[in-house]
Structure 1
Amino acid sequence: MFTHSIPALFSKEEAREVIRLANEAQMAAGGLVGGLHHNIRRAEIAWLDDTGTAAWVMERVVSAVAQANREHFDFDITDFGERLQVATYDESNAGHYDWHSDIGDGPIARRRKLTIVVQLSEPAGYQGGELQINLGGAVWAAERGIGDATLFASFMLHRVAPVTFGRRNSLTCWCHGPHFR
């Protein structure tokens, strides 16, 4: 299996603090390599300083990924080459991110092995917005509990369905290593 769930990786209070840190870092329109493509992605994002005020967030993510990788994936993970990303998907613009994989064009994105996504919003605070992963034609929806984390192989197709009510916040981190062979 190329997915793994970690319930309550962050508490409700910690999830709120991550959102506060993202707002402090100033949210901006989320794009793709090559620019903004609103038909593919509509979200606001912020990058957290993983060595400063958000160091505790990165420490928690690294610890969880290390354990999950040992127990479930056994990928060759060597580093975390990108900062933490907080994304906000809002009903006001049908926030979403269409089907894609996280292995992209670019020296860092090519080395992505695992993706971890943490739900930061209360499940009752939004409708739609599911993180969905394509498991060989079957679509699987990630847990929506506040603080719940989902790990998956970065080459897997996944999306965030359009938010139809409220606002969904999530934290994403990518884990890197040598190219898949």
Structure 2
Amino acid sequence: MARSLKLSLSLNLGVLVLAAAVMGTVPLSTATGGGHDSTALQLATDQSSKEYPSINLVSKPAPASASAKVNAQEAVHRTKDLGFSTEMIPGSPIVELRLISEKYNDPTLTRDYFTDRLTWVVTYKGSRVIVHGPLNLDPSVRRQATENLRCEVVFFIDAATAEAYKGALQTC
């Protein structure tokens, strides 16, 4: 049963498997001038590129000279205003200022893409998983996954307008 449960979860959850390594953090107050609740957040300084293939986004670190009109605390407040439960966005998030670009692997697509948009990437760890899968997924498997799995939820908030791009991305 345990093996079939693992197989069912890995095949049927429909969640993206993505390792998100966040390196070195500094208190948010360093980045925002000590705004309210500044100790509740961590500003990440990950220097690697990241890809989010399920939503066609790639990111790279923002240059040190980048200036955001929306601060990190406002970006976090925006994520909380999007209607997700506290189980989906628990605790204190990790916040990164990054340049986001759309990336599609289909050269026949004709549309305008954005590139290098200054964005706050807000990541909540320990989120309850949203279980997707076939209609015939055994209810006990769905219930067990919902109760036991914890993932990350990632939001992309425009650093100039506080607009949320692409909704939320849940990674496990």
Q: Give yes or no for TM over 0.5.
A: no
State the structure with more CA Rg: 2
Q: State the TM-score, normalized to the length of structure 1.
A: 0.28
Higher relative contact order (CA 8 A, sep 6+): 1
Q: State the TM-score, normalized to the length of structure 2.
A: 0.29
